[in-house]
Amino acid sequence: MKNRIKYWKGIEELENTPEFQKNAQNEFPEFLPVNENGEEASSGKTKRRDFLKLLGFSMAAVSLASCEAPVRKAIPYLNKPVDVEPGVANWYASTFFKNGDYNSILVKTREGRPIKVEPNTSSSLTLGTGPRAQASLLDLYDNNRLRFPVIKGDEAEWEEVDRQIVERLANVTGKVAFVSSTIISPTTKKLIREFGSRFSNFEHVTYDANSATGLLAANGGVIPGYDFSKAKVIVSVGADFLGSWLAPVIFAKQYVETRRVNPEAPAMSRHYQFETWLSLSGANADVRVPIKPSEHSAVVAAIYQAVTGNNGGAPASAVTESPVLAAAIKELKANRGRALLVCGSNDPNVQAMVTAINDAVGAVGSTIDPAAPYYVKQGNDANMLRLIKEMNAGQVGAVFFYDANPVYHHPLTEAVVSGLAKVPLKVSFADRVEETAAFCDYVTPDHHYLESWNDYEPRKGYYSFAQPAISPIFTTRQMQDSLLTWLGTNILYYDYLKDNWRSAERGDFDSYDKFWEQLIHDGVYESQTGTIALDIVNDFEPVTPVARPVKGGPGIEAVLYEKMTIGTGEMANNPWLQELPDPISKATWGNYVCMPRDMAEEMGVTQGEVLRVTMENGKTIELPALMQPGQAKGTVSIAVGYGRKVQSMPVAYQLGENAWPLAQVVDGIILYSGNVKLEKTDALHPIAQQQTHHTVMDRLVVQESTLSQYLENPLEVTEYIKIATADGPKKPALVSLWDDYEYKDHHWGMVIDLNSCIGCGACVVSCQVENNIPVVGKAEVLNRREMHWLRIDRYYSAVEHEEGDFVAMEDPAENPSVIFQPMLCQHCNHAPCETVCPVAATMHSSDGLNQMVYNRCVGTRYCANNCPYKVRRFNWFSYANNDKFDYHMNDDLGKMVLNPDVTVRGRGVMEKCTFCVQRIQLGKLEAKRENRRPKDGEIVSACAQSCPTNAIVFGDMKDPDSKVSQLLAREHQSRAFHVLEELNTQPNVTYLTKIRNLA
Amino acid sequence: MQHVSPIREPLVTGGKTYHDITEDVSRQVEAKPNIRWATALAISLVGLAIFAYSVYRTLWYGIGEWGLNKTVGWAWDITNFVWWVGIGHAGTLISAVLLLFRQKWRSSINRAAEAMTIFAVICAAMFPVLHMGRPWLAYWVLPLPNTFGSLWVNFNSPLLWDVFAISTYFSVSLVFWYIGLIPDFATIRDRATGPIAKRAYALLSFGWTGSAKAWSRYETVSLILAGVATPLVLSVHTIVSMDFATSVIPGWHTTIFPPYFVAGAIFSGFAMVLTLMIITRKVYKLEDYITIEHVESMNKVIITTGSIVGIAYITEFFIAWYSQVEYEQYTFINRAFGPYWWAYWSMMTCNVITPQLFWIRKIRRSLTATFIISIFVNIGMWFERFVIIVTSLHRDYLPSSWAMFSPTAIDVGVYVGTFGLFFTLFFLFAKYFPVVNMAEVKAILKSSSGVTHSHTKTMHATEKELNTNTRHNNE
């Protein structure tokens, strides 16, 4: 063997230890420590690899800890609940009822949480929903609701509360009073009666914040079964039946049936409105006469005298001599059996005259159905006044408050408070510690209506139900269950309710359970047999149709009114309602003193200047002034429902002032008007209006005509703009530089009938709920940055002016005619927004939608500038998870209302109406799964679905049988017009000219 | 030799020699910063701090910090943008167009004017980025290959044209300006004594040797860049005007906009150059280089462009009436007599009436009057853009959406802050860069200094090396 030089590879090889020899055969050396076992670790030394691991770990830990990532738990279903398919909505029939506003609804739930309210089409009372019903959903997720029962302000257990109340009820001395607003649930009323039967001296006092005592007194304790749909002549004296009077959603449905026109049936009712403040009904009226509150009885008396020949006892005035009133009387008389007079006065004597007039013009049996009166208001002012007296006299041993908050809205607040101090046991069922609950010993919070079981009878023979759409969020308990517990029974209200309905006529159902299931499934039940009768007490004083003397005088008269948004104030903590503009003044977030312009000029007041209003009863409030066209001369009007000063209503906290104390108690009834003194203060308080320019400036953006013109030639009621070309005038769409899109499958379109639109705003809220539109608050509305995708433009007619007098046409007329125009993205086929976006974030879809891609948007706002309709909305701030916008999108509970199908937009992106693309997509997918085309009516936008008058029709214009196609075909060249047609934007939204039935 | 009319006043006065020019200009760079300069810079830095704070508020909280609303989606942001871009027009016009037209009087002012252009365009460029809702995605407006799918920019959008126009203009101006600086940097480098200055200017001068070859290339590049930059003077504001002209908004949708905007831009740019030059010549004692003759020439441009702008205003009214489009008509009536009447009449006074004073020779040659009028023009041109943008938007088609715009403190802060940015850059420039183009001034010295030079031969040689303008002249 040759001795060669050996090159060693390492010290180990040179030394050639036995260990090396052993390892040399192994492909992978093992002597590098891979420290995994405890033995090595216990040596206490950190190995090289461990060091790197530790370094990496600690780096990660330190950086993670410094980031403070919020822990969000997503807990998957361990077992899938029955009927809950993730991503698929469940619908439950229910009912919304609050102080007269009745809506039969369907509740859309996703993964167990209600996210939308839609109308229940099975109901024959309502077509759509009102704005309050839409917004009521958010109250469910209100963080300020009580999460537990309260004893004297402290959290308590239900067992303890029950024990104490039962014990104290057992030893109660004196009267037990159950104070509630109107209850239209037959079963609840039965239960209350049963509860009361336990006590020797029990009274169920029903009183309504905005009372209808006068009307009830004159009609045997019920509201006459008005049916506006049968009327040819409607005369309303101070009754805002479309906005705030009694059951507006029901009346709106009936009313609009007489207002629609089409070539086959070109007839319309004529609507006269005599009123002080410009109400929604007044805005829709054909003839509107502004009158002072003190003149209401004179107007009614004049009609009474003319129609019945009896003397109403009211002195003649300028109004009673007016030719318009004479015309109204003439028409009332001429349309026997097709005429209807309604009156908003709470004076029983006036209402007695109204009843007599309606009798005389043959309304009963046609425009008033005597067999089907309404029950939506039952309150008797006298009973409440008596109870207040009794409380102050120490005669009341226990009082329960259910849906009643007299400390806030009873005119005799001080007496209520002093009386409460003398009542030993005070229990409130309020869902939060509001004004009255703050004075109560116990607050046993009631469920939200979407967590409750109940039945309703708003009109005789028309029933509906409520069922829980979610299990109770907080440890609350339905009032009825509380009563049952205190009665000492173990029955649940659900069983009580079900049991009570056993007597109902079952029809073809063989078993009661099946019938009951059907009842709850349908949510409505209509039967005239009357087996489930609502307990109606007629304890009203008999009245005579003679007007009582009214204090008129030369001074300024004030009238309190209910806004169609906030209503009596119960839902004031709802940011959707606060941000929904008043349909007339377009003001949000607060109340104000509406005054006619000449009064403001006389006083030297400008809009926003704070006035001190002193009522003849000595009560004073300070509110900013608002110039309101149409306001009767020498009058002001103030909305109730504001001025909440309780911590449990942070949204409404200190918005506006409480106007309820200005109401006056006269002869046992509450009157909502009186003489006031106005004083200027130095303060300025801006009013957040969503529209600040009020006239249409003689532009053709909204069109109207008259019935007589329509009857003459329906093809001449709309003015169509033509573009001058070398070959003569042409339709703008024919003069185009652009290629048209080709739509192969669908072409979505919308038709808005301005004749049917009453301007209520239900669509605005519906759109807000459906599309997760943020609430921006008063300051941002003042900055003109509201986010509503759909708004209702309201234009007043201008003062008389010459053509081209731009200064004059900015001023609304003293008593203007009003027109509403829902305005949303027009989904132009030649969209100005699409061409200008530098990043193509807004583009056209293959089925005609103008789409907005939020993720792509960089926020140049060029599209919004270039939109002639100004319907694009920009996210100026981050509206979710931002303490500056502390509304529902800033807390976890409030976020539960968000629609999971719609993105919550981030800051800096543009957004706008999508035609509810998520619904279109869902409908298309469902149809695709069944291998068919979507059927007309399957896919509807939220606004169209919610509209209480069906003014909005949505559908596929490619489908010749769809309602929208047929409407377009019918109204072509007649009433159908596009806004700003001369711009050749070719919108997919078509409007139908409004027709007025002018006298 | 070029013929110089005896009645024409010399462009350089005071009997300067080549050395004097080098001394006069380099002195500013080489001397220690004086207290006046430091104070001015400090004030500018305060402005810059205001800018930084306002931008922070805008970026951190959102565009809602500004006074914009659903109706008026652009206001001060785009007003400021167009205004600054307009100001940025003079530099290129002076250096490129006047170079091509052989206007020699440009030589002493082109450097500062070009610097002003660059800084004004920087200020202008802040606004398109800042006004975005999501400025961190601003790069999406560039046609970059991306992984978002086949996402591409929208070539229909005038905003995109803007991106190209402004960035091209900025890059060309910057290169043009810098090329011109190189020989002067070399001069300073050669004179520098400190080690830092030596190295810094050596770096900035790109190793300029001053050889004939280098001069020849320098001249060629200058000419080429002048040729490239000249159309840009017209294109930038033409395209900026298309942001408005291609829209459907009455008051924006106007075919007269491109020429009208270009004239307005030159108008405002010259005014701004005058404002700055009158101060600079005083502070830096450059009266012999920037003479009354210069001021008068520029005033003549101002009166010309000012009159063009004035005619454009009147034409707009005529066309509005002639069009018989009610929206168009109302927009113009609203401009003059609506709620923003004061903005309109401020514009008319500052832009149309005040420059007409320059018809009077005394005013045209008065530094004080020129300074005041130039400020008026600056203000007037800001109002012009405000009037176009805000009064057109605030009352467009549907009266229901009509709204007013009022600026917030942040709006004001961003605008005032861009002055801070501008002047910080300008003062840094004025201290560390030669504010007058030494090389070019030297080139015109012999032909237009008022001093008779006998050494024609030497002059010939110099001209060959230095003066592009006279190189191909038929003597």
CATH 3.10.310.10 is the classification of domain A556-689: no
Partner residue opposite B397 with nearest CB, options A701, A806, A859? A701
For residue B391, the 8-state DSSP code is I
CB contact under 8 A, B132 and A858: yes
Structure tokens at A151: 């004893």
Angle between helices B257-283 and B110-130 (to 10 degrees): 120
Say if residues A811 and A821 touch (Cβ distance below 8 Å). Answer: no
**CA dihedral sign, ordered A871, A874, A876, A881:** positive
Kindly give the pairing relationship between strand A270-275 and strand A287-290: parallel
The Cα A403–Cα A420 span in angstroms is: 17
What are the tens digits of pLDDT across the range B138-182?
999 998 887 777 788 999 999 999 999 999 999 998 998 899 899
What are the tens digits of pLDDT across the range A974-999?
999 999 998 999 999 999 999 999 87
Instruction: Specify burial of residue A929 (Cβ count, 10 A radius: 0-12, 13-18, 19+).
Output: exposed
Query: Is the pLDDT score of B457 beyond 50?
Result: no
Going by C-beta distance under 8 Å and a sequence separation of 6 or more, which residues neighbour residue A597?
A627, A629, A811, A814
Check residue A44 and give its pLDDT: 55
| More confident position, B473 or A922 | A922
* Average pLDDT score over residue span B248-259: 92
Instruction: Summarize chain B as % helix, strand, coil (round to 5).
Output: 75, 0, 25
Query: Is the pLDDT score of B467 beyond 50?
Result: no
Domain ranges of chain A: 11-67, 224-360, 556-689, 704-996
Per-chain mean pLDDT for chain B: 86
The distance of B175 to chain A (nearest Cα, Å) reads: 27
Residues of B in contact with A906 (CB under 8 A): 134
Query: Is the pLDDT score of A890 beyond 80?
Result: yes
Check residue A41 and give its pLDDT: 46
Check residue B463 and give its pLDDT: 41
CA atoms within 13 A of residue A385's CA, in its CB half-sphere: 13
Residues of A in contact with B153 (CB under 8 A): 838-840
The distance of A867 to chain B (nearest Cα, Å) reads: 8
The Cα A266–Cα A255 span in angstroms is: 16
Say if residues A501 and A453 touch (Cβ distance below 8 Å). Answer: no
CB contact under 8 A, A823 and B153: no
Provide the percentage of residues in chain B whose pLDDT is more than 70: 91
CB atoms inside a 10 Å sphere around CB B30: 14
Going by C-beta distance under 8 Å and a sequence separation of 6 or more, which residues neighbour residue A9?
none
Check residue B280 and give its pLDDT: 81
Residue of B nearest to A843 (CA): B154
* Contact with chain B for residue A559, Cβ under 8 A: no
Smallest CA-to-CA distance from A893 within A331, A84, A140, A295 is with A140
Helix ranges (DSSP H) in B101-210: 110-130, 158-191, 195-204
Burial A768-799 (b: 16+ CB within 10 A, else e): bbbbbbbbbbbebbbbbbbbbbbbbbbbbbbb
The Cα A613–Cα A591 span in angstroms is: 13
CB contact under 8 A, A860 and B327: no
What are the tens digits of pLDDT across the range A914-950?
999 999 999 999 999 999 999 999 999 999 999 999 9
Q: Nearest 5°: CA angle at A330, between A328 and A333?
A: 110
CB contact under 8 A, B248 and A868: yes
Residue whose entry in the numeric block shows the structure tokens 């209350």: A192
Query: Is the pLDDT score of B212 beyond 60?
Result: yes
Structure tokens at B123: 């200020």
Structure tokens at B160: 């995109």
CATH class of A224-360: alpha beta
Helix ranges (DSSP H) in A487-627: 493-500, 512-522, 575-579, 597-603
Check residue B246 and give its pLDDT: 92
Say if residues A150 and A442 touch (Cβ distance below 8 Å). Answer: yes
* Average pLDDT score over residue span B397-417: 94
Lowest mean pLDDT among A177-191, A282-296, A522-536, A920-934: A522-536
* Average pLDDT score over residue span A34-60: 64
Smallest CA-to-CA distance from B107 within B193, B21, B232, B210 is with B21
Check residue B455 and give its pLDDT: 44
Helix (H) or strand (E) holding A132: helix A131-140
Instruction: Specify burial of residue B86 (Cβ count, 10 A radius: 0-12, 13-18, 19+).
Output: buried
* Contact with chain A for residue B48, Cβ under 8 A: no
* Contact with chain B for residue A851, Cβ under 8 A: no
Query: Is the pLDDT score of B315 beyond 70?
Result: yes
CB contact under 8 A, A836 and B157: yes
* Contact with chain B for residue A859, Cβ under 8 A: yes
Helix (H) or strand (E) holding B299: helix B292-323
Say if residues B115 and B177 touch (Cβ distance below 8 Å). Answer: yes
What are the tens digits of pLDDT across the range B361-376?
999 999 999 999 999 9
Query: Is the pLDDT score of B449 beyond 80?
Result: no
Check residue B148 and give its pLDDT: 73
The distance of A782 to chain B (nearest Cα, Å) reads: 10
Smallest CA-to-CA distance from A981 within A826, A757, A837 is with A826
Smallest CA-to-CA distance from A135 within A470, A575, A568 is with A575
CB contact under 8 A, A864 and B401: no
Out of 3.90.1150.10, 3.30.70.20, 3.30.750.24, 1.10.10.10, the CATH code matching A704-996 is 3.30.70.20
CA atoms within 13 A of residue A339's CA, in its CB half-sphere: 22
Query: Is the pLDDT score of A368 beyond 60?
Result: yes
Residues 131-190 in B contacting A (C-alpha not used; CB under 8 Å): 131-135, 137-138, 140-141, 151-154, 156-160, 163
* Res. B473 pLDDT band, cuts 50 70 90: very low
3-state secondary structure of A155: strand
Going by C-beta distance under 8 Å and a sequence separation of 6 or more, which residues neighbour residue B407?
B66, B67, B75, B76
* Interface mutation vs chain B, best among A836, A879, A881, most B CBs within 10 Å: A836
